[in-house]
Amino acid sequence: MWHNFSRLFRYRGLIQTLVVRDLKARYRGSVLGYFWSFVNPLLLLGIYSFVFATIMKSDDVKTQPYAVFMFCGILPWTWFSSSLLESSASLIAGGNLIKKVLFPAEVLPIVSVFSNMVHFAFGLPILAGFMLYYGHTPLLSNFVWFPVVVLVQLILTIAFALLVSALTVHFRDLRDLLANVLTLWFFATPIIYPYFREGVVQYKHIFRWNPVYHLIVSYQESLFFGGRFGHGPWLLLLGGLSVVFFFAAYWIFDRLRDSFAEVV
């Protein structure tokens, strides 16, 4: 495992090339092309804002403007969920590459994560624009935590992507199951409702077992809510556990590596 892991950094050029190829393939033949990377989050923000800020309007003044509050959670969640769904099929879709002796299979799920991270980055200017429009700017002392949150999510998402992609090769039903699990996971995470809501606080001992809960709350505290960044200890703990989880997921991936070419 350590031999393969030590070579992973040398594949950064290959990862970059495949990410660019994936982005080009995604918008090939479309009229707007890469502009969809900005249009999609804008449309998503508009839809959710209409539903949850107009039809199911929240009276909680702490989450106003609601569109900005919600988008602080929607953006990282979309990065996380899309990465898992795409990585679950990445090894199967890249079967021809895996059968080549020298091709590192772990690159494929990692590419899925970085590709969706680029879309996450494209959505940030949309979020910044709405924050300026509503006159809602983050505290500098809280915003400095933002890169830390992104780094923790990157490590955690890659770990999940490696694990899910390896298991899906042998258990094809996992991809369909994952879509349903992610739907439940979405509503079990304080994205469209605040983490300080009574129902969440009442069962906080359960919510704290949800790693994405800590990510979303950290994003909200660093970008939306004023006051002290109180979730720092939990974020750092999640960062440490994410590193451990990454190596555990990579170990499982490496153990199953030799069977990929036979199954796909």
Give CA–CA dist 170/8, Å, rounded.
24
- Chain center to CA of 128: 19
What DSSP state is assigned to residue 9?
A: G
Determine the average pLDDT of the residues in 29-34: 58
| DSSP per position, 137-192 | ---HHHHTTHHHHHHHHHHHHHHHHHHHHHHHHH-THHHHHHHHHHHHHHHTSTTS
Domain boundaries, the chain: 2-263
**Residue 71, CA atoms < 13 Å, CB-side half-sphere:** 28
Candidate from 92-96, 238-242, 243-247, 259-263 with smallest mean pLDDT: 259-263
Sorting pLDDT into bands at 50, 70 and 90, what band is 142?
confident
Tokens matching residue 143: 């915003």
> Which position has the higher pLDDT, 4 or 112?
112
- Each residue's pLDDT tens digit, 55-102: 766 667 777 888 888 888 999 999 999 999 999 888 887 777 777 767
The average confidence (pLDDT) of the chain is 83
At 33 the pLDDT is 57
At 44 the pLDDT is 74
Q: Report angle CA 186, 138, 216 to the nearest 5 degrees.
A: 15
At 117 the pLDDT is 93
At 31 the pLDDT is 54
Determine the average pLDDT of the residues in 94-120: 84
Q: Which of 247, 167, 249 is nearest to 2 (CA)?
A: 247
> Which position has the higher pLDDT, 85 or 5?
85
> Which position has the higher pLDDT, 208 or 102?
208
- Each residue's pLDDT tens digit, 146-185: 999 999 999 999 999 999 999 998 888 888 899 899 999 9
Determine the average pLDDT of the residues in 187-201: 84
At 196 the pLDDT is 83
Q: Is the pLDDT of residue 30 over 70?
A: no
